[in-house]
Structure 1
Amino acid sequence: MTIYTVHVPPARDRRAGRDAFRAVFVKEGFCWPGLVVAFPWLVFRRMWIVLAFYIIAGAGIIALSRQEELILVAMAVGAFVPLLLGFEGNDLRRWQLGLRGYEMMAVVEAASRAEAEIRYFSGRPEPVAKEPPPVPLLRPQPIAPSRGVVGFFPASGGAS
């Protein structure tokens, strides 16, 4: 079973009933797209800060590879960066969602993302209407004192 974290948009961006469609499910574990196709994956997920560091690391690798004595270092760093994105890609995605204001709402254990969505949405309560139903205005009726009844007794003199 895989663990998924559920992130919802910030409260200021939520619309009644629409926030469920914008929930993001992030898998816990190794990120294969981060290892294999890192650049397109970062662009697709709109992880701009991580993409900037990825480009800087790529430029550093190219600069290192131009010097013959540092070519082995460049190869090691070139192998390390995709592995780092593979191992930490989903955590970086959670971090990026947190920067955008997304809140982690739940942790779901499921075999697939579809099953995680089913488990998450089946356990959620129905949305509550924002406005409570109007309460009818009750006009207080003045209580007129009765001359014949004293206290809790229904008849005068205490006899019932």
Structure 2
Amino acid sequence: MPVYTVHAPPADADERSAAPDRFVFVRDGFYFWAFVFGPFWLLTRRLWLALLAYVVVTVAATVALNALGVASGPRLLVLLLIAALLGLEAGSLWRWTLARRGWRQLDVVVGDDLPSAERRFFDRWSGRQPAPVSFSLPIDRGAPPPTRGMPLPASSIHGDIVGSFPRPGGLR
């Protein structure tokens, strides 16, 4: 089962706690789309320093392999290894970037998929939150509404109302 880390954004001065809809769940494991589309995956997550490092390493490896006169097969293998390393470490790079931006890690959650991990986290998290304090003064609503002093309507069949239970002590 996948393991997720839960991160909360940095709290503003006027905001006491972060809004739960802004929490980020980062899965631990291999990111296929980071392996296939490395730079685009880094761009969509706004991992600028990781993108810069990826481009520098890729360009340096390409220049070094060209200078050494390596054939295209091993050159492709080196670039695939760099992409595989990015796919393996994408979650760590994302967590590192969130920590650099001041986000704090709240919890580690295990779940079959993201919705079950979110449900498990928020069940635990809501139990740890202090109960909201709400106090309101009692409202004086006055006396109960007046009742009418009208007699009950008489039934045409043995003094019972049709469709209801017979009166206690009456005929059955």
State the TM-score, normalized to the length of structure 2. Answer: 0.66
Give the corresponding residue for 1:45. Answer: 45
Query: Structure 1 residue 66: deviation in Å?
Result: 3.0
CA contact (8 A) 2:47 2:94 kept: yes
Q: Distance in 1 between matches of 2:53 and 2:2?
A: 29
Alignment of 1:1-16 (within 5 A): 1-12=1-12, 15=15
Q: In structure 2, what is the equivalent of residue 99 of structure 1?
A: 100
* Cα 1:18/1:127, change in 2 over 3 Å: farther
Gapped regions of structure 2 (runs ≥ 5): 136-172
Equivalent residue runs for 1:16-27 within 5 Å: 19-27=19-27
Q: What does 1:58-137 correspond to in 2, within 5 Å? A: 58-67=58-67, 69-71=69-71, 74-125=75-126, 126=129
TM-score, scaled to structure 1: 0.71
| Partner SS, residue 39 of structure 1 | helix
- Structure 1 residue 114: deviation in Å? 0.9
| Deviation for aligned residue 1:60 | 1.4
| Offset at residue 74 of structure 1 (A) | 3.7
- Find runs of 4+ consecutive structure 1 residues off by over 6 angstroms: none
Q: Aligned Cα RMSD in Å?
A: 2.7
Q: Once the two structures are superposed, what CA deviation does each residue of 1:68-87 show, in whole Å capped at 9, x if it has no partner? A: 62346644431221011111
Partner of 2:32: 32
Q: Which amino acid aligns with 2:85?
A: L
Percentage identity across aligned positions?
A: 30
Once residues 13 and 25 of structure 1 are traced to their aligned partners in structure 2, the CA distance between those partners, rounded to angstroms, is 24
SS in 1 for 2:95: helix
